[in-house]
Structure 1
Amino acid sequence: MEIAVVGRHTDVTDKFREHVQDKLTKVTQLSPNTRRVDVEVTHENNPRLSDVSERVELTVRSKGPIIRAEAAADDRFAALDLAMEKLSERLRRSRDRHKKDHRRRGAEDARPFADPSTVDEVLAERSEPEPAVLETPGDSVEHQLGDSPVVIRQKLHHGEPMTVDDAVERMELVGHDFFLFIDKESARPAAVYRRRGWSYGVIELDTTCAAAAPVTQLT
């Protein structure tokens, strides 16, 4: 498993890198197929935010969905511990769901098929999404908004068809308040987002639009 540690607006000491290596050994126990873990350390210079001046973000990349957790504290070692607790819980949740899906698929394999079309439908549901060909998912770029202190960060993700239930599960795994995806039933771009309590919302985009009417030039 590869571990990449980067600092944003801060330097990362060898002592902290060694501590990260020790902490992340638990990842392979919960997710043996993990290929890489990205660790991003950010320092906030604003003295008013001294209690959360050190932020650590952990991103696990494996054959399955990306799983992410982040936390902030006044010390980066403490922030890492908090982020690791969140990550471990999400890795366990993903592992348990994988086992459940494996048992369900085993039951489907044991069930006789009525006709060949049913076989095609099951195989289509199990097919892996095509990888992105333009850029590597996870790549990001930042730019400043004019002369203002506002910084905009852009990031590329896979546009993967899935159900709303799957999108909610993915959102919980990365610890975000929203998640973009392609709706498997409508084939439209959509987003699920967290509302109050355990309530969620869904927004879909209608990508069809009427062609613009031709402009008639008066003479």
Structure 2
Amino acid sequence: MQIAVTFRHMDSSDALRSYAEEKLGRVHKYIDEPIDAQVVLTVEKKIRHNAEVTLVAKGITIKASAEVTDDMYAALDAVVDKIERQLKRYKEKLKSHTPRKGKSRDVTKSIIEAASIDDFSGEPRVVKTSSFSVKPMSVDEAVMQMDLMHKDFLVFTDDATEEVNVIYRRADGNYGLIVPQK
């Protein structure tokens, strides 16, 4: 496991760093794959201690944060407990779900910059492009993956139809599903 600890508005402490590494070592019982962890410890107004953890492992990203008013160690305990609860829930859902076999697809995402209204040059240009693999999964698994990553939408391949679908979070808290027409 690779753990990067960042200190904001506080002095770096080897004791806090080793405590964070020790606490995050407990997640190995849920995920056996190599894990990258980013820990950000922040002190605001000398009384609010905030700990944020982002785990990336086995194709999933899990984020959690906790804020405690008196102690950074308590904030670390709270955020690791949240991570463990999320991983337990994820592991239980994986046990009850049997994935179907399907083709994985590669998708490219492009961010296009539009010109300002005042000086319109005609053509937008691509600012950022990223590629990622879209694995086959059910709609329930896609919702779970989207919740674990704290994203507003997710592009995935439906394991039953092998079509690329998009699931998104609606303003009313429910989910929407975009399915292509044939």
- 1:1-219 map, 5 Å: 1-8=1-8, 11-31=11-31, 33-43=32-42, 45=44, 47=45, 52-62=48-58, 64-74=59-69, 75-101=71-97, 104=98, 123-124=101-102, 127=103, 129=104, 158=132, 160-161=134-135, 162-174=137-149, 176=150, 178-182=152-156, 184=158, 187-188=164-165, 190-193=166-169, 200-202=174-176, 204=178
Q: RMSD over aligned Cα, in angstroms?
A: 3.8
Which residues of structure 1 form unaligned runs of 5+? Answer: 106-121, 135-153, 207-219
Q: TM-score, normalised by structure 2?
A: 0.63
Report the count of equivalent residues: 157
Structure showing greater Rg: 1
How does the TM-score come out when normalised to structure 1? 0.55
Higher relative contact order (CA 8 A, sep 6+): 2
Alignment-derived partner of residue 114 in structure 1: none
| CA distance in structure 2 between the aligned counterparts of 1:187 and 1:131, rounded to whole angstroms | 10
Separation in 2, partners of 1:54, 1:18: 17
* Structure with more strand by fraction: 2
Distance 2:139 2:164 in 1: 12
Q: CA deviation at 1:2?
A: 2.2
Partner of 1:146: none
Aligned partners of 1:157, 1:67: CA distance in 2, in Å?
A: 20
| Letter aligned with residue 66 of structure 2 | A
Distance 1:179 1:80 in 2: 29
The structure whose residues are more often helix, as a share, is 1
Q: Which amino acid aligns with 1:182?
A: F
CA distance in structure 1 between the aligned counterparts of 2:169 and 2:152, rounded to whole angstroms: 4
Aligned partners of 1:157, 1:38: CA distance in 2, in Å?
22
Q: Percent identity?
A: 24
- Amino acid in the other structure paired with 2:39: E
